[in-house]
Amino acid sequence: MVKNIFNLFLLLIFILSISLVFISASTLPSRCSAIIGECEEVYSKCWDLINEELNNKFAEIDTQYQPDYDRCIDEFGECSKASVEGQIAFGTCMTASDNCLESYRNKVALKKEPVQKEFDNQQSQLNEYIDGCNSPQLTNEILKSSATITNYEGDVQMYRPGQNVVPINRVQVLEQGDKIVTGSKGKVKIIFDDGSAVYVGPNSEFILETIAPLESTFKLDIGAIRAFIKKGLEKRTFKSRSIAATIRGTEFVLISDPVNEILEFNLYEGNVELTSENNEERKEISAGQTAIADAQGIRVSSLTKEKWDSLVNEITISERNSSKYFIIFFLLLVAV
């Protein structure tokens, strides 16, 4: 009896593992294609621009030396007329014309040579760019930009652009434009592939505006989030109301109160610059500080340990919640 239950348990774990791998892998091709498609579009536009510039510069050089070419043609015409009148041999006219045109072509080629070299250099850079678009390094950066719900509790809903409410799985891969809405007891944990995490607290609306390889943007319409962002290449911008904070390695709690038109940024670790709408005001805040933004501007004060702990407890999901069912199941197995 115990052996059969244990075997069933192993089978369920195996099926879950395969499903997670499939979910993760199934989202990769379209995202890779999107990034590489952007690269190829940039490549095509740049190629057109440098070709246009090359042709324009060549045309300017041709125009500059057009009088030399016209002179060669005029002299050949006059020489030919003289040869008809028997004043000069026609072969002499041909030789003189060839020498004149050769001199003209050499001048033009000499003038165009550095332009062509510059074009070749730009073309080489473009080729390296498109090669980078298909490189394993870029694929790794694409993977780093993914976001996944790994745990949630209470009333949580997810809205996807062009769709109604999307059912949330215990492990849910998120897409650009997804909106997370929590109820009075709802909480969500979102993990990024670089290990960064965002916790969405109760009564909140959190939007993943853009998820890109090196730069992502998120928006908190209402409620609170706690974010732990690892330091790395990727730049993440968190927006709420008329304030934006660009993050590269820090831990903070962001609270948005649209009713009272107040935004609160609590910084536990790192340094962050808050920027108001239209860059009208900038404020640098450091670890252990709270910034309040309202109609009067941005004010900074000290963040106490008690307040930070209270905010963390209100927003963060206890990690024990995600494993308690497995623990209970294991204890039942032992009891049997």
Report which of residues 76 and 328 the model is more confident about. 76
pLDDT score at 270: 87
Facing residues of 283 across strands?
A: 274
Tell me, what's the pLDDT at 132? Answer: 58
Against a cut of 0.75, is the pTM above it? no
- Quickly state the pLDDT bin for 282 (edges 50, 70, 90): confident
Give the whole-angstrom CA distance, residue 231 versus residue 249: 4
Please report the pLDDT score of residue 155 as a whole number. Answer: 92
Beta bridge partners of 267: 252, 289
Residue 243's pLDDT band (cuts 50, 70, 90): confident
DSSP element (H, E) containing 124: helix 90-133
302: region left, alpha or beta (phi > 0 left; psi from -120 to 50 alpha)? beta
Q: Which helix (H) or strand (E) holds 222?
A: strand 215-229
CB atoms within 10 A of CB 196: 22
Query: H-helix or E-strand containing 83?
Result: helix 66-84
The CATH architecture assigned to 147-326 reads Sandwich (2.60)
Q: pLDDT > 70: what percent of the chain?
A: 73
pLDDT band for position 20 (cuts 50, 70, 90): very low
Instruction: Give the distance from CA 212 to its chain's centroid.
Output: 3
Mean per-residue pLDDT over the chain, rounded: 78
At 255 the three-state DSSP class reads: strand
Q: What is the reported pLDDT for 10?
A: 47
Q: Tens digit of pLDDT for each residue in 65-99? A: 999 999 999 998 988 888 888 888 888 889 999 99
**DSSP classification of residue 137:** H
Domain ranges within the chain, ordered by starting residue? 38-138, 147-326
Q: What is the mean pLDDT of residues 148-173?
A: 86
